Amino acid sequence: MKHSIKVVALTAAVPIILLSAEPSAFGAGDLNNPEPYGLTSSEKVILQNKNKLHTVVVKSNNQANEVDSLRERIDGLQSIIESLSRKAHNNKINLNKLENKSLQVSETSDEYDKRLGEIVQNNVESIEKTNDAILKLSLLLDSINKDYVTKAEFNNLVNSVNKFKTLIAKELKGTGSSKSNSNSIDSGDLYDQAKNNFDKQYYTKAIENYELLIKRNYKPAYSHYMIGEMNYRRNNYANAITYFKKSASLYSKASYMPNLMLHTAVSMSKTGDSEHAKSFFNALISKYPNSKEAKEAENYLGL
């Protein structure tokens, strides 16, 4: 059984007493909504994993850009080192030439020292530039390592998401098998089975039973009400509102109407629709003033 049932628009009219308080429950369970509500436990986990993956992807993209920049700097540093190597080689050649000239030509020690000093000074400046480039490179590497997400961490997150998907797939597969077996059961027996599963709090199986009864058009008003009740108990308030509204439109004089109206109002309040929730509480008090549900509605309104 899916943990989240799509909210569908009701085409039938809600009883006159409900028309004045017609709520809006669309948008619940929408993971693309900036501020989703009415999520199932599975959807919440999917949303959390989705957000984590998004954060990892953003970090990975930023790190890729920084690595590209680092590569460019390394290439520049390599060019400097190559240039220094060439200069050192040339300096060595020049020193050899000076030594040869010193043997061949009579030169004063002052001139030789001057030329040698120039060579040494050039080497010192080149070394300083190299050290400065290395320092900048070290700082950049420290910055990248600080926020770096390792491949192992990324793989662990992906594995967690895949395990969750596998778990959901197994549950859905098991649900499909259960539905297949229910198709061969008589509607009356299926109704008894649904009630038994509900009493034992096997809500997933009970919802499957009542959905099949709705498809068979066997006590559809009550079946919608019961599915709404189970969604209400699971805190799937948006889905609960949808089934409560459909039940009321099919049979407005049912004995469970006070409870249906109370739980509809509470569900609206939980989904942030306080205005319509207040209207439903007042409608319940007006329609069924002596019911225990009316007393609860008064407590919610602070009367």
Q: Is residue 281 part of a domain?
A: yes
At 42 the pLDDT is 81
Question: CB within 8 A of 176, min separation 6: which ones?
Answer: none
Q: How confident is the model at residue 2 (pLDDT cuts 50, 70, 90)?
A: very low
Residue with tokens 């994993």: 49
At 262 the pLDDT is 97
Q: Is residue 143 part of a domain?
A: yes
Same domain for 297 and 193: yes
Same domain for 202 and 141: no
* Lookup: tokens for 24: 């809006």
Same domain for 195 and 116: no
Q: pLDDT tens digits, residue range 210-231?
A: 999 999 999 999 999 999 999 9
Confidence check: pLDDT of 158 > 80: no
Same domain for 202 and 105: no
Same domain for 56 and 142: yes
Q: Is residue 177 part of a domain?
A: no
Confidence check: pLDDT of 33 > 60: yes
Same domain for 54 and 34: no
Q: Is residue 123 part of a domain?
A: yes
94 against 159, higher pLDDT:
94
When divided into structural domains, the chain yields a total of: 2
Same domain for 253 and 188: yes
* Mean of all residue pLDDT scores within the chain: 77
Q: How confident is the model at residue 234 (pLDDT cuts 50, 70, 90)?
A: very high
CATH number of the domain enclosing 273: 1.25.40.10
Q: To the nearest 10°, the Cα dihedral for 154, 29, 258, 220?
A: -110
Same domain for 272 and 188: yes
Q: pLDDT tens digits, residue range 113-155?
A: 787 788 888 877 878 777 777 766 666 655 555 555 555 655 6
Same domain for 281 and 195: yes
Characterise 292 by phi-psi region: left (phi > 0), alpha (psi -120 to 50), beta (else): alpha
Structural domain of 138? 48-149
Query: Exposure string (b/e) for 119-142, b if CB count within 10 Å is 16 or more?
Result: beeeeeebeeeeeebeeeeeebee
Q: Is residue 203 part of a domain?
A: yes
Q: Which range in 34-38, 40-44, 90-94, 261-265 is most confidently predicted, on average pLDDT?
A: 261-265
Confidence check: pLDDT of 287 > 70: yes
Same domain for 138 and 206: no
Q: Is residue 7 part of a domain?
A: no
Confidence check: pLDDT of 24 > 80: no
Same domain for 292 and 230: yes
Q: Is residue 155 part of a domain?
A: no
> SS in 3 state form for the chain?
CCCCCCCCCCCCCCCHHHHCCCCCCCCCCCCCCCCCCCCCHHHHHHHHHHHHHHHHHHHHHHHHHHHHHHHHHHHHHHHHHHHHHHHHHHHHHHHHHHHHHHHHCCCCHHHHHHHHHHHHHHHHHHHHHHHHHHHHHHHHHHHHHHCCCCHHHHHHHHHHHHHHHHHHHHHHHHHHHHHHHHCCCCHHHHHHHHHHHHHCCCHHHHHHHHHHHHHCCCCHHHHHHHHHHHHHHCCCHHHHHHHHHHHHHHCCCCCCHHHHHHHHHHHHHHCCCHHHHHHHHHHHHHHCCCCHHHHHHHHHHCC
Confidence check: pLDDT of 249 > 80: yes
* Lookup: tokens for 2: 């899916």
Alpha-carbon gap, residue 232 to 247, rounded angstroms: 14
At 127 the pLDDT is 81
201 against 56, higher pLDDT:
201
Q: Does the predicted TM-score (pTM) go above 0.85?
A: no
Q: Is residue 168 part of a domain?
A: no
Same domain for 195 and 142: no
Mean pLDDT of the region 59-86: 80
| Structural domain ending residue among the three candidates 88, 123, 149 | 149
At 279 the pLDDT is 94
| Structural domain ending residue among the three candidates 149, 173, 194 | 149
| Structural domain ending residue among the three candidates 107, 126, 149 | 149
Mean pLDDT of the region 158-164: 57
Q: Long-range contacts: 251-259, Cβ < 8 Å, 24+?
A: 251/221, 251/222, 252/14, 252/15, 252/17, 252/18, 254/221, 254/222, 254/225, 256/222, 256/225, 257/287, 257/288, 258/284, 258/287, 258/288, 258/291, 258/292, 258/293, 258/294, 259/293
